[in-house]
Structure 1
Amino acid sequence: MTSEEKNWAMACHLAAFAGWFIPFGWILGPLIVWLIKRDEFPFVDEQGKEALNFHISLLIYGIFAAILCLILIGFVILMALAVFQVVMVIVAAMKVSSGEPYRYPMTIRFIH
């Protein structure tokens, strides 16, 4: 595996931070990187799917947490999800940069 392939795979994960600046960027960022490089690098294809599945799962969890804001517990869950997302993306990027495939916890596998 080349360093270029590792860097693009890492970009799939780190592109999710676009969500802090662009609406739905946490999905659009990894999606764009994955669509551009998935045919060129198998590792990018695998890690791009993993990043997308994780962020789609977080979106679903966030919707449920937003509903729970009506009984106030949702605010705590939303903050926990935000911290969880940042930590997991950093861990994934570090693992992938060394060439290890990464599987996010609590992920529903939508894209295979």
Structure 2
Amino acid sequence: METTANRNTATLLQLSALTQYFFPLGNYIFPLFIWSFRKNESAFVDYNGKQAINFQLSMLLYMLVLGAVAVPLFLYSLFSTTTFSYGSGKGFITEELKAGNISGLLVIGITATIVFIMLKIFEFCLILYAAVKNSNGQDFNFPLTISFIK
């Protein structure tokens, strides 16, 4: 049975990941800060802090992979269907950018945006669920998490 202080600390640790919506990198800084100061006081806080930090790092990795795949595909689609020429004194002129060519760009852009939004909703819901579990004194294992900190 965990003490109320440990349950509150673990809950705050989980909810501190939501600071990403107010401070850049807040979802890494605040959980890491709370975990580093309280990890030696309770195995419960230590375990759930590691879970929260690993989940945030995993989400970062998934977002980077999404960007690493979507951006080159988008740029390739853009430049493979469009020709650029240098006009007389007017700078670069875009030729042959037709509606048929834009559809591939739209598919890539919309798909990447939908996947990004789904990941953020998934992340938000799991953070809240983990906070509720921790407030009840239960450990929570985030799905699809890579164990960076063991």
Q: Secondary structure at the match of 2:60?
A: helix
For the 8 Å contact 1:66–1:75, the answer to whether it is kept is no
Which structure: larger Rg?
Answer: 2
Whole-Å separation in 2 of the counterparts to 1:74 and 1:65: 7
TM-score (norm 2): 0.72
Q: Secondary structure at the match of 1:50?
A: helix
For the 8 Å contact 1:13–1:51, the answer to whether it is kept is yes
Over the matched positions of the two proteins, sequence identity in percent amounts to 32
For the 8 Å contact 1:30–1:48, the answer to whether it is kept is yes
Higher helix proportion (structure 1 or 2): 1
Say if 2:121 is the partner of 1:83: yes
Aligned counterpart, 1:10: 11
Aligned counterpart, 2:142: 104
Aligned counterpart, 2:38: 37
Residue segments in structure 2 that go unaligned for 5+ positions in a row: 75-107
1:71-104 deviations in Å (ceiling 9; x for gaps): 3221111101110111000000001100110000
Whole-Å separation in 1 of the counterparts to 2:58 and 2:30: 15
Q: CA RMSD in A?
A: 1.0
Residue segments in structure 1 that go unaligned for 5+ positions in a row: none
Aligned length: 112
Aligned counterpart, 2:81: none
- Tell me which stretches of 4 or more aligned residues in structure 1 moved more than 6 Å: none
